[in-house]
Structure formats: structure tokens, C-alpha cells
Amino acid sequence: MNRFYFISIFFHTVIIGSALFINRSNSRPLPEFKVYKVRLAPLPQPKIQNSREAAETIKKSSPKKEKSPPLKKSRKKKKRVKKKQKKVKEKVKAGLPDIKPRIMTGSGRGFTYSYYLNIMLNKINYNWHNPYKGRDVGLKAVVYFEVSKDGTIYDVRIEEGSGDDLYNEMAIRAITSTKKLPPLPREFANDYLKVHLEFLTAR
Amino acid sequence: MNIFKIFMESSITAQIIMIVLIIFSIWSWAIFFKKLFEFARFKSRARHFLSTYRLYNSISELNNLGHLLNNNAYGRILRNGLEEFKKLRLINIHNPNSPDAEKKEKTTAELSDNIRLVMERAKISELSELESSLPILGTFVSVSPFLGLLGTVWGVMEAFFDIRARGSAHITIVAPGISDALITTVYGLMVAIPALIFYNIFRTRVNRHSGEIDRFINEVFVRLRKALITGQQ
């Protein structure tokens, strides 16, 4: 009986070994993961909306929304952005090869859920189109926004302009078109999360 | 997809299940090799025995088969039959000219069934030897998929606990847990499928050999009974 066990063990090692060998020879390099540098910045005091107002803005279909003045502004902004974006797309096509923009964020104090930040940054990065992609322009814009418990983004505004209107609009656009994030971690005590997101052009 | 890497990264429960499944796999393959060897030996010895057995025409010559009566199933069955045959013949020899000869002949004919029964008994012990370890294979066939399934369900359960703990059901959180969990089912099936094939192969072979042995027993029984009743040597 013993000798058959040895044969069987030998057989298994050969099969597992060959499986490992085949894997190694066929191994494709894994796609590189983007590394986001997360910086906890000292917070300038933003205007904190009441939760009621926030709720109003979240309900987009409700008639209340039209009454509130800040939303009208944002709509106008969106229209402007759309107009500009068309122009920008044409420019980008003609531009130099892309350099991926680095997004840096400063989040609220005590928010330690890095996986959530990663998801958020991934989503926003998907919608972020740098108008000066590949060009040697150094710009920095900080956008402030709040995320409610169910993950809705509201109160998007420029906190620190880059000095370039197109760039600012595109930064806001990146966040407003993200619209919905996953709900905040249940353990996070606050009703909403304040985010200060830095948009930096890469050199 | 690296098997070894997945193994190292999965949870302790999945690792235990995978180790058990690997042991099952080694065991079932060992049984496969052992049975393969045993059946090959059985077949070659049987062929050798049967080819020589057909050359012997009288019963007394059959005793001279020597080691062929001991080293294979057919030989052992024949030996048992011959021993019973001798015992029965002694009754006749001691009372060759007894007054009730007809009655004796009748009882001899009746007792000749004993030869068959003895050979059937020998056949059962031979078959049980051939069938040994097959129940283990059968157990592996039925148990290992369930064991793999247990690992998977456990892993999925852990993934859902993670979702509850983090409060988010994003695919990046759920997918790794579930993909790790599925590996145990893969292992379970990898153990069960070969084991099922081996089990069916050997079960069929045992049935075939059983039929052949039955035929041999009938052949020998006819010969011995005839010799017993007619008093042929």
C-alpha cells in the first residue's frame, strides 16, 4: 500500500508543479494600480448646510428644488460647462500624448475609511477630463463638496480657484457628473462627509 | 490565477478544507494505482491458470496444479471445490458395497451441492478482496463536492459579513471574498470527478470478474459432480 501512496504523492507534486510552471510562463503583469496620495489638509471653515437644505437638494425630482436659488446657479454652470466641453474635446484630440492627472484630496477629520476614499477617487477620476492634458501647464484647483449618508453629492463649489475658468469648470464638472457615490460607512458618525479635493495638473 | 497564491491568501477555514481535499485526492489516486496494479495481477494470473487448467482432463490430475491452486482467485476456488469433493468421495469409498447402495447414490447427488456452496463462499471472499477500498472511493465521490461547497458557502458568508461591517456592497469588496471562496468548490470537484471515474471503472471490472468466476464455478461443478456420481477418477 505504501508504495502506491508514494506514487500518488509524486503524481500530485508533478501536476501541481506543472500547473505552477505553466502559470509562471503565461503570467501577464497585473494592471498597475493607481496610487492616490491622500493628504489630510487643515480645513478652511466651509459653510455648513442644514441637513434639511441638503435633503432638498438631493431630491432632484421634487418641485422644491426649482425654488432654491443655488441650484439654478449650478444649472447655469452646467450649461456653460457643456458648451465649453465640446470645444475642449476637440483640443484634446489634437493635443500631445496624455499625462494622467494626479488627484489629491484632503478629507474631513476622523474619516479613516481609505477604501471609501479610493472608491470615491476612482469614480471621480473616471469623469475627470483634464483640459490641459499633456501640456506643460501647472494648475491647482480645490473643489469643496459634501457627501450625504446615502452617498449623494451636493454643495459642489470651487474653494480655491486655479485662475483658469475652464479648468475650474472641468473640475466641478468631474464631481457633479459623478452624482452618486456608495453610501458612507455605517460606523462613520457624522451625517455627511466634507471633502476638499485638489485637482493638480501633472507635469 | 496562481493556485499556490490563492491558497496562501484564502482564509483559514478554506485552507483547512483544501488540505483535507488534497489528502482525499492523494488517497483516491493511491487507491486508483493500487487497484490498477491488483486488477492487472489478477487478470494475468487468472489467464495463466485458466490456460493450464484446460489442459488437465481428469480430476486427480488437477491436484498437481501446485502453486497455481494458491496464487490466484480461480485456483483458490478450485482448491476449495476439490477439498469438498474429496470429503464427499471418502463417504463413498468407505462403503463401496453397502446394502443400500442406491440410497447412498441419492445422498451423494444431494450432497454434491455442497461443492457449489463451498466454491460460492470462496468466490465471495475473493470478490470482497477485489472490492476492498472501493467504498472509500465512493465516499470521496460523494463527500468532496459537499466539502468544497461548504468552503464556498463559508467564504460567501464571510464576504457578506465584510459588507455588513463596512456598510458598503461595492464589487471591489465583495468580489475577492467570493472568488477565494469558489476555489474550494473547484478543489472538491477536482477530487470528486477522477474518484467517480475510478469508482465506475473498478465497479464494472468487479462485476465482469464476478460473472466470469460464476461461469468457472459452474464449469468446475459440472465436472466434479459428474466425477462424484460416476466414481470417475
Residue A61 pLDDT > 50: no
Which residue of chain B has the CA closest to A19? B3
How many Å apart are CA A120 and CA A126, to the nearest integer?
Answer: 10
Closest of B153, B196, B152, B182 to residue B24, by C-alpha: B196
Q: What is the pLDDT of residue A11?
A: 92
Q: What is the pLDDT of residue B162?
A: 78
**ipTM summary value:** 0.72
pLDDT band, very low/low/confident/very high, at A97 (cuts 50, 70, 90): very low
Beta-strand relationship, A153-160 and A102-107: unpaired
Top pLDDT among A45 and B113 is at B113
List the beta bridge partners of residue A144. Answer: A157, A196
Closest of B139, B116, B119, B131 to residue B207, by C-alpha: B131
What average pLDDT does this structure show over A10-31?
77
- Chain B touched by A96 (CB under 8 Å): no
Q: What is the pLDDT of residue B63?
A: 78
Q: What is the pLDDT of residue B37?
A: 93
Domain of B12, in residue numbers: 3-230
A27 with B4: Cβ contact below 8 A:
no
Phi (first) and psi of residue A139, to 5 degrees: -130, 155
Residue A108 pLDDT > 80: no
A8 with B2: Cβ contact below 8 A:
no
Distance from CA of B162 to the nearest CA of A (A): 12
How many Å apart are CA A196 and CA A193, to the nearest integer?
Answer: 10
Which pTM does this prediction carry? 0.56
Which residue of chain B has the CA closest to A18? B3
- Chain B touched by A183 (CB under 8 Å): yes
Top pLDDT among A1 and A154 is at A154
A4 with B30: Cβ contact below 8 A:
yes
Q: What is the pLDDT of residue B119?
A: 92
Residue A157 pLDDT > 80: yes
Which residue of chain A has the CA closest to B33? A4
pLDDT under 50: residue ranges of chain B: none
B1, B26, B166 member nearest A12 (Cβ): B26
A residues 57-76 closer than 8 Å to B (CB): none
Phi (first) and psi of residue A123, to 5 degrees: -65, -45
B34 with A186: Cβ contact below 8 A:
no
How many Å apart are CA B37 and CA A2, to the nearest integer?
Answer: 13
Residue A60 pLDDT > 90: no
Q: What is the pLDDT of residue B52?
A: 86
Q: How many CA atoms lie within 13 A of B197 on its CB side?
A: 8
How many Å apart are CA A111 and CA A189, to the nearest integer?
Answer: 10
As a whole-number percent, the residues of chain A with pLDDT over 70 amount to 55
